[in-house]
Structures are given as structure tokens and as C-alpha cells.
């Protein structure tokens, strides 16, 4: 199947449909039962779920776009907006909050010049606040991609961020 003619031309050109076919067909046999795993693979490839890719997926596996959109918005791990290469999760749960988590968040925002839920213009970082990362004894904690940085202080934030391209 080729790109849907119902998609606007500029959206068709932004997506690698051969790569989408590989994900949908080769990795998951085009099986609608694998919807969440397909969405995870698409997000891993693009770092978010582009609307044209979701429209194409709906057509390929015969699931209404509205259902796919509902799944994407139900699970907080999915993003419909472009995200940075490095996802910074700042824990603001009780243990991290009382140990200075808010000061760490303010320092990150100051350095990156972005607010909570925003992405830097160069697409290098996305900042998101979370309620608990599960490392309460290490608070305050930030998670950058899959790396945990515990007992971090606002003075250490810049050097920590500089480790990520």
C-alpha cells in the first residue's frame, strides 16, 4: 500500500512510508492486536507520533483513526507533539519536593529557557515534571532519557545537561 492520497502532499513528504511499512508489516505483521507496540515503534522512530503516520497506520490496519487517537491520548507515554532528543523528567513527588526538586526544576528552566512541557528550539531537550520516579531515597531526582541522576543540586544541573547531545 502506498501513502494515502487523502493526506495533504506536504504531510506525505515528511514521513518515510517504507519505514512505516517495515514497522507495521515486518515487525508486527500488520496485526491490529499489536496497535500499542506499533505506536511505540513509531514513536521510537520519530520521537513522537506524527499525525500523518497515525492516519497511514489507521488505513493500513483497518482501525478508525479516532480509536488510534484515543489510545495515543490515553497513555501518557505517547506524545503527539515533537519532543527533544533528550527527555528530562524532573520528579516533584513529596520526597523530591522537600529535598529541593522545585529549585532543580527552576534551574533547568533557567538554563534551557523553556517551561514545563516545552521543548528547546534546537530539539535537544524536552522538560516534563512527574509526580514520582520511584527513587525517593535519592531525591531530588531527574531522569534524562533512561539515566537517573539522584541527589542532584541546582548547582550540578548545567554539568549534567552538558553530558547530553
Dihedral sign for Cα atoms in the order 71, 120, 92, 143: positive
Strand, coil or helix: 165: coil
Helix axis angle, 65-74 to 51-61, nearest 10° = 130
Q: Tens place of pLDDT for every residue, the chain, 165 residues?
A: 444 444 444 444 479 999 999 999 999 999 999 999 999 999 999 999 999 999 999 999 999 999 999 999 999 889 999 999 999 999 999 999 999 999 999 999 999 999 999 999 999 999 999 999 999 999 999 999 999 999 999 999 999 999 998
Q: What is the pTM of this model?
A: 0.77
Q: Kindly report the backbone phi and psi dihedral angles of residue 130, in degrees, each rounded to the nearest multiple of 5, phi listed first.
A: -130, 160
pLDDT of residue 67: 98
Q: What is the spatial order of strands in the sheet that 147-149 belongs to? A: 125-130, 86-91, 142-144, 147-149
Please give the helix or strand (H or E) that residue 76 lies within, else none: none
* Residue 149 C-beta-side C-alpha neighbours within 13 Å: 20
Amino acid at each position: 500500500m502506498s501513502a494515502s492520497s487523502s493526506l495533504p502532499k506536504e504531510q506525505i513528504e515528511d514521513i518515510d512510508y517504507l519505514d512505516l511499512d517495515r514497522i507495521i508489516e515486518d515487525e508486527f505483521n500488520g496485526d491490529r492486536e499489536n496497535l500499542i507496540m506499533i505506536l511505540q515503534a513509531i514513536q521510537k522512530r520519530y520521537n513522537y507520533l506524527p499525525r500523518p503516520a497515525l492516519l497511514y497506520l489507521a488505513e493500513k490496519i483497518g482501525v478508525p483513526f479516532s480509536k488510534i487517537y484515543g489510545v495515543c491520548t490515553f497513555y501518557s507515554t505517547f506524545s503527539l507533539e515533537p519532543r527533544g532528543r533528550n527527555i528530562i523528567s524532573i520528579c516533584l513527588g513529596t520526597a523530591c519536593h522537600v529535598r529541593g526538586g522545585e529549585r532543580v526544576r527552576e534551574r533547568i528552566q533557567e538554563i534551557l529557557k523553556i517551561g514545563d512541557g516545552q521543548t528547546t528550539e534546537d530539539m535537544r531537550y524536552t522538560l516534563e515534571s512527574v509526580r514520582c520516579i520511584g527513587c525517593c531515597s535519592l531525591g531530588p531526582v531527574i531522569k534524562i532519557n533512561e539515566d537517573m541522576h539522584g541527589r542532584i543540586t541546582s548547582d550540578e544541573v548545567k554539568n549534567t545537561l552538558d553530558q547530553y547531545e
